[in-house]
Amino acid sequence: MDKPFNNRAWLLVIPVFVLVALSAIIPIMTVVNYSVQDTFGGNKFFWAGTEWFTQTLQSERFHNALGRNFLFSAIILAIEIPLGIAIALAMPRKGIWVPVCLVLMALPLLIPWNVVGTIWQIFGRSDIGLLGYSMTQLGIDYNYTSNIFDAWATIIIMDVWHWTSLVVLLCYAGLVSIPEAYYQAARIDGASRWSVFRYIQLPKLQGVLIIAFLLRFMDSFMIYTEPFVLTGGGPGNSTTFLSIDLVKQAIGQFDLGPAAAMSLIYQLIILLICYVFFTLMSNVGKDKPVEVED
């Protein structure tokens, strides 16, 4: 006999909905309000319609910042996902070194974002920083404040150092959840290490990799604190991503209407790409035909 359904469980969820409404829905509606209006001060607003959206979409400044975001996210995903998988595969599954490795992997994730930027800002200085001083001693002209390549390289290395651990921990959790029976069958069949990874581990990591891809894409595409503290968006505008440009426009120039429109477009781009990522990766292998040997 089926148990009666208890609706009182919703009482535990209602406070969460209230918090989400206060912390998300109301601010978003405020942004929407600013995006379709203009003001000349004095708390007087005038209807602007889609003017700010059209202006943003046609702006070369927006296109350049968006291109830098896509390039940065592509580089980060291309480095951190394979590197995270490789480190997770190399970590021990049993023994006293397991908690040691897990703690070491988790340490970078515990550091606040602004502190990470400050650490690498000092680390890259040629007078007191280990990285900058070492580069100078090797005869390499390294200066992340004036050289575009050095600035990009420093930000990428900083992000890899800070966030690869997240991919490692996710992949490690997926690897330890694979039943031992799969490995026993592979050993009986004489499968190579690559075959075990290709046909057992990688397919079983598909769900974990979807989460890793989505989390790392969203984080890298919305990156703000670390490059702002490290380079301030420079040299020039070479590291001015959409998030930094948005803050400059909203707070520095006080153009609330264009900034609100840009933030909504920014959000829609992230949601759209995440949806495409999730759909494509979720359907990988579903329609793959089964090969039958004679």
Residue pair 124/152 in contact (Cβ under 8 Å)? The answer is no
Four-CA torsion 51, 57, 63, 67, nearest 10 degrees: 130
Any long-range contacts for 37-46 (C-beta under 8 Å, 24+ apart)? 37/257, 38/257, 39/256, 39/257
pTM: 0.85
pLDDT of res. 114: 86
Give the distance between the most distant pair of CA atoms in the chain: 82
Closest CA to 154 of 120, 115, 126, 130: 120
Residue 183 · residue 89 · CB < 8 Å:
no
CB atoms within 10 A of CB 152: 19
**CB 281 within 8 Å of CB 210:** yes
Domain ranges of the chain: 59-282
According to DSSP H, which parts of the chain are helical?
10-20, 26-35, 51-57, 60-90, 97-106, 113-123, 130-137, 148-176, 180-189, 193-196, 202-204, 206-221, 225-230, 242-247, 256-282
Is the separation of the CB atoms in 65 and 259 below 8 Å? no
pLDDT in tens, the chain (294 residues): 556 666 677 777 888 888 877 787 888 888 888 888 887 766 777 888 889 999 999 999 999 999 999 999 999 999 999 999 999 999 998 888 999 999 999 999 999 888 999 999 999 988 888 988 899 889 888 999 899 999 999 999 999 999 999 999 999 999 999 998 998 998 888 888 999 999 999 988 988 998 899 999 999 999 999 999 999 888 988 999 999 999 988 888 888 889 999 999 999 999 998 888 888 777 765 545 444 333
Output DSSP code: residue 112. Answer: -
Architecture of domain 59-282: Orthogonal Bundle (1.10)
Q: What pLDDT is stored for residue 285 in this prediction?
A: 54
- Output the CA torsion sign for 254, 242, 108, 157: negative
Distance CA 166, CA 102 (A): 11
Kindly list the distances between the CA atom of residue 25 and the CA atoms of 20, 32, 262, in Å, as whole numbers in the listed order: 7, 10, 18
